A and B are shown apart, each in its own frame.
Chain A
Amino acid sequence: MTGLSIERRVGEVVESTSTSFVAQCYQLEGAPALGGLVRTYSPDIYGVVGSVTTEPLDSARPVLARGEGSDTEEDVIRDNPQLARLLTSRFQVFIAGHVENGVTHQYLPPRPPRVHSFVYACDPKEISCFTSRLDLLHLLLNSGASHSDEIVGACIRQAASSHAQPTDFLAQACRTLAMELSTDVARLKSILQRISP
Chain B
Amino acid sequence: MTQANDNNGRISVMPGLPLGVVIEGSVANGVEVRLDPGVSVEQIKVGTFVTLQGTNNRFFGVVTDVGLGSTDPRMKFTPLPADDPFLIEAMQGIVAFGTISVIPQLTMPDLLGDEQEPAAAKSIPAHFSRAFTASQDDVETVFGREEDGHFWVGSPLDMETKLCLDLGELVKRSMGVFGKSGTGKTFLTRLLLTGILQNGEASSLIFDMHSEYGWQGQDTDKGVTVKGLKQLFGAKVSTFTLDEEHSRRRGLSTDETVHLGFNYVEPEDVELLRESLNLSDVAASAAYNLREKYGEESWLKEFLDVGKNGSLLELAEELQVNAGALRALYNRMGRFTRHGFMVEHSSTDTAAQMLGHLERGQHVVLEFGRYGDDEAAYILVSNLLTRRIHRKYVEAKESAMGGAGKEPRPLVIVIEEAHKFLNTSVASQTIFGIIARELRKYNVTLMVIDQRPSGIDPEVLSQVGTRFSCLLDNERDIDAVLSGTSGSRALRSVLARLEAKQQALVFGHALPLPVVVRIREYGPKFYETLQGGGDSEDERKRKVDELFAD
Return chain B residues, CB-CB under 8 Å to A182: 71-72, 94-95
A131 to B235 Cα, complex, angstroms: 78
A185 within 8 A of B: yes
A87 within 8 A of B: no
Q: Which residue of B lies closest to A188 (CB)?
A: B95
A182 to B178 Cα, complex, angstroms: 48
Q: Which residue of B lies closest to A193 (CB)?
A: B87
Give residues of chain B (44-98) contacting chain A, Cβ–Cβ below 8 Å: 70-72, 74-75, 78, 80, 84, 86-87, 89-91, 94-95
Give residues of chain A (163-197) contacting chain B, Cβ–Cβ below 8 Å: 171, 174-175, 177-179, 181-186, 188-189, 192-193, 196-197
CB-CB contacts of B266-284 with A at 8 A, as 1s and 0s? 0000000000000000000
Return chain B residues, CB-CB under 8 Å to A185: 70, 72, 74-75, 78, 80, 91, 95
Whether B90 pairs with A177 at a CB distance below 8 angstroms is yes
Whether A186 pairs with B74 at a CB distance below 8 angstroms is yes
Whether B71 pairs with A196 at a CB distance below 8 angstroms is no
Shortest Cβ distance from residue B235 to the other chain A in the assembled complex, whole angstroms: 68
Question: Are A178 and B95 also in contact (CB < 8 A) when A184-B72, A185-B80, A189-B78 are?
Answer: yes
Whether B94 pairs with A192 at a CB distance below 8 angstroms is no
Give residues of chain B (184-202) contacting chain A, Cβ–Cβ below 8 Å: none
CB-CB contacts of B455-472 with A at 8 A, as 1s and 0s? 000000000000000000
A106 to B37 Cα, complex, angstroms: 25
A183 to B80 Cα, complex, angstroms: 15
A182 to B34 Cα, complex, angstroms: 14
Contact size range, A: 10 to 19
A121 to B379 Cα, complex, angstroms: 95
Whether B91 pairs with A178 at a CB distance below 8 angstroms is yes
Whether B87 pairs with A189 at a CB distance below 8 angstroms is yes
Return chain B residues, CB-CB under 8 Å to A186: 74, 78
Shortest Cβ distance from residue B469 to the other chain A in the assembled complex, whole angstroms: 42
Give residues of chain A (32-88) contacting chain B, Cβ–Cβ below 8 Å: none
Whether B72 pairs with A183 at a CB distance below 8 angstroms is yes
Return chain A residues, CB-CB under 8 Å to B87: 189, 192-193, 196
Whether A192 pairs with B90 at a CB distance below 8 angstroms is yes
Give residues of chain B (16-43) contacting chain A, Cβ–Cβ below 8 Å: 37
Q: Name, among A171, A175, A188, the residue most crowded by chain B CB atoms within 10 Å (CB to CB).
A: A188
Return chain A residues, CB-CB under 8 Å to B72: 182-185
Return chain B residues, CB-CB under 8 Å to A196: 84, 86-87
A188 to B89 Cα, complex, angstroms: 13
A52 to B71 Cα, complex, angstroms: 35
Whether A197 pairs with B94 at a CB distance below 8 angstroms is no
Return chain A residues, CB-CB under 8 Å to B71: 182-183
Return chain B residues, CB-CB under 8 Å to A179: 94
A92 to B163 Cα, complex, angstroms: 67
Shortest Cβ distance from residue B371 to the other chain A in the assembled complex, whole angstroms: 70
Whether B90 pairs with A174 at a CB distance below 8 angstroms is yes
A189 to B91 Cα, complex, angstroms: 9
Return chain B residues, CB-CB under 8 Å to A184: 72
Shortest Cβ distance from residue B20 to the other chain A in the assembled complex, whole angstroms: 15
Interfacial residues, chain A to chain B (CB-CB below 8 A): 171, 174-175, 177-179, 181-186, 188-189, 192-193, 196-197
A and B contact pairs by CB, cutoff 8 A, 29 listed: A171-B89, A174-B86, A174-B89, A174-B90, A175-B90, A175-B94, A178-B94, A182-B71, A182-B72, A182-B95, A183-B71, A183-B72, A184-B72, A185-B70, A185-B72, A185-B74, A185-B75, A185-B80, A185-B91, A188-B90, A188-B95, A189-B78, A189-B80, A192-B86, A192-B87, A192-B90, A196-B86, A196-B87, A197-B86
* 8 tightest Cβ-Cβ pairs between the two chains A and B: A174-B90, A182-B71, A178-B94, A185-B72, A185-B75, A196-B86, A185-B78, A192-B87
